């Protein structure tokens, strides 16, 4: 149905790309779209909507989920690019009230944690209230053999500036682990 543009009744402009969709499907799956489509608005404004808060690849993945209840295959992306899409998709899922998508993105991010992305994943987990992702990030960062590499990453600098509270969780867990070792 996503590919069926002949019956689409709404078009989204996302940067230079357009996406055709069906209001009924969007409203059934997202409380945000439901509210948007139920508010009084003239038909012309309702049929063409500009989205500025999401990149085209992320919006395409969001629509894929809404129509299929599954995550898109990211074969065309490198591992780092795919991870970035899932990070942005988690934020979009939060924005559009798609809790299941949020959980699925968080799970995918947990499965792909590494020294380079763990701090930015922790920042996202804290910002969008993803407890399981936060716990996985804290557990990943806590071992002493990873701390120096994580602290040197760009994601850590973002976390430190934007949301210092999750850092306390990491250091507290590390401290408890060291005390139990002694």
Please spell the DSSP secondary structure of 106-167, one letter per residue. Answer: HHHHHHT--TTTHHHHHHHHHHTT-HHHHHHHHHHH-SHHHHHHHHTSHHHHHHHHH--HHH
Measured CA to CA, the distance from residue 160 to residue 167 in angstroms comes to 8
Q: What is the dihedral of CA 157, 88, 144, 138, to 10 degrees?
A: 110
The CATH number linked to 139 is 1.25.40.420
In sequence order, what DSSP letters do the residues of 2-33 get, joined into one string?
TT-GGG--EEEEETTEEEEE-HHHHHHH-HHH
Task: Tell me: pLDDT of 168 over 70.
Answer: no
Q: Is residue 121 part of a domain?
A: yes
Task: Tell me: pLDDT of 41 over 70.
Answer: no
Q: Could you tell me the residue range of the domain that residue 163 belongs to?
A: 115-182
Other beta carbons within 10 angstroms of residue 112's beta carbon come to: 15
Q: Is residue 124 part of a domain?
A: yes
| Span 71-124, pLDDT tens digits | 988 777 888 888 899 999 999 999 999 999 999 999 999 999 998 899 889 889
Count up the domains in the chain and report the number: 1
């Amino acid at each position: 149905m996503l590919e069926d543009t002949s019956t689409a009744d709404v078009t989204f402009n996302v940067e230079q790309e357009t996406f055709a969709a069906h209001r009924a499907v969007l409203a059934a799956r997202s409380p945000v779209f439901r509210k948007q489509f139920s508010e009084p608005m003239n038909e012309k404004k309702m049929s063409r909507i500009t989205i500025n808060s999401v990149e085209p690849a992320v919006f395409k993945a969001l629509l894929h989920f809404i129509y299929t209840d599954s995550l898109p295959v990211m074969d065309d992306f490198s591992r780092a690019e795919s991870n970035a899409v899932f990070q942005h998709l988690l934020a979009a899922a939060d924005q559009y009230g798609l809790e299941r998508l949020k959980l699925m993105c968080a799970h995918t991010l947990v499965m792909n944690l590494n020294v380079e992305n763990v701090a930015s994943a922790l920042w996202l987990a804290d910002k969008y209230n993803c407890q399981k992702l936060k716990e996985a990030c804290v557990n990943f960062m806590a071992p002493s053999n990873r701390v120096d590499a994580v602290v040197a990453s760009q994601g850590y600098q973002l976390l430190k500036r934007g949301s210092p509270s999750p850092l306390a969780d990491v250091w507290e867990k590390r401290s408890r682990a060291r005390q139990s070792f002694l």
